[in-house]
Chains A and B, each alone.
Chain A
């Protein structure tokens, strides 16, 4: 049974359409991420589910109940914001217990549930403090405890990790996944950060300019992007014009200027149904740069010259020139990175390629 269903949702602000006709099914207990750049409509969609915005058209169902006309305080949702939004004039215990007050939970039980929630977020000892006395990461844990203690039908997370420092963000990411799996609450997570989306989600909904570009599990979205936008938004990709020249069993043959003929697995080119012009998607981290004279061992090889080196510590992002194309390649560093101007070979395994219709 699906927990949240959006049917032909549209949101317009006067002349501007923030969300174009969108339908979405979110299964019970799933962790679904709305991923996209700012202004793509992801937060607008979340706020419509929350009841903070009314959809212009379409229906929203939560647990099979139509909630279009149900105000936010009667929807039984857990909401976590980017800036924590704890009540500064209440203690941590009062913050977490806030939602229980409106649910008629008896005092003794409320006390126990608050304590359980604080233990779940690994902050059992801070109950008597005020939000200001906690660090950002701790405040966000409390915000999470406050949202889940009411046993919401859906947990809505609006960029909850974006205000935290980089290191803390990764810890919280792991923590968030652990807690979500433990309590099994259906979760909608909004972020612009692809690594958060890939790490946390059962399903990723990639959005752009108010439209859904692709829905699928992280691996599928990453390996078989459904559009140029998805290919570029999740990681770095090279997109090359190519021509589909025929099918051979489970693979499609493409002619791609500098790379010559490449046999791409058919399941990685679901949109290509006939011969003719198409686009090849080559992920930057799948292009391996080697010395020119290294043995080729079954890969496609193209000679190229390094133009720019973007050193990142354990990895390097190269911009290389191959014929008239500039390609990105992200490689782990083996001893020394290549210097700018170095002659190299690009190695590519055909099965790492994906293709889009032109």
Chain B
């Protein structure tokens, strides 16, 4: 009796969480102009229109470029920072660690406004580079957390063994350390990409005029009217942000299996 109540409750929670998402996905295939039930028929016309909407395509390209660059820079910096913090004795490493993690503890609006004010103070104009800079700041903590955790679990002995056998520190990093922490590096990069791709708060504050990412584009479109194209765009974004990490996890599992894991 108790268990079935718990099951029912859990089901309701899941419905509450995922029903709106499901509705968006469902309506994106609606043939009618108006997002209402019952649906008048199935169609992919909104996806076609989406693919022909120049503004959305431009936003899409911007988001992908921004996400990819953010992931690349964040991951590189994050791996280097983690290596320094875990493998070397850096003075004040605890403090540095806290500062690196701080951006996820500070509310994003506060961070966004702070950076904007700082840029004004320095009389620097908003630009794509600065937007990228902002995204790197708040994706970096995720990379550092994931990579650090992995690096701690890689025993120093293994690297020392490699060096004793004749590998230089650089060769040891590329032959031993990097392959062993690759799953964490990829996970960190995926995190960085999806967070950057999803972000709206910081982006709204930092983006220069004329540059739109997918979330800010949707936001702008919603202010005018509720177009079914938005449902289609939402569906595409769900597929990207859910599918990409799942794909990454699957690849990581495959790699692990090949290594006798």
Q: Which residues of A are at the interface with B, using a C-beta cutoff of 8 A?
A: 50, 52, 71-79, 81, 83, 85-89, 91, 98-99, 101-103, 129-133, 143, 146-147, 150, 156
Contact = CB atoms under 8 A, between A and B. Distances in A.
Interface in B226-261: 259-261
Given A79-B160, A83-B157, A87-B176, A146 B165 contact: yes
B164 A98 contact: no
B166 A73 contact: yes
Contact of B160 (A72, A74, A133, A150): A72
Contacts of B164: 50, 72-73, 75, 77-79, 147, 156
Interface residues of B, number: 22
Contacts, number: 76
B179 A81 contact: no
A86 B158 CA distance: 6
A102 B259 contact: no
A130 B259 contact: yes
Given A79-B161, A85-B157, A85-B158, A102 B180 contact: no
Contact of B166 (A91, A103, A156): A103
A130 B162 contact: no
Rank and list the top 8 A-B pairs by shortest CB-CB distance, nearest first.
A130-B260, A102-B166, A99-B165, A79-B164, A85-B157, A85-B161, A81-B157, A73-B163
Contacts of B161: 79, 81, 85-87, 143, 146
B168 interface: yes
10 contacts: A71-B163, A72-B163, A73-B164, A83-B155, A87-B162, A91-B260, A98-B162, A101-B166, A133-B260, A147-B165
A147 B261 CA distance: 24
Given A73-B168, A132-B260, A133-B260, A85 B155 contact: yes
A85 B261 contact: no
B260 A129 contact: yes
B167 interface: yes
Nearest to A79: B164
Contacts of A88: 158, 180, 259
B167 A73 contact: yes
Nearest to A152: B164
A70 to B, nearest CB: 12
B53 interface: no
B171 interface: yes
A89 B259 contact: yes
Interface string B31-50: 00000000000000000000
Nearest to B158: A85
Most buried by A among B161, B165, B180, B259: B165
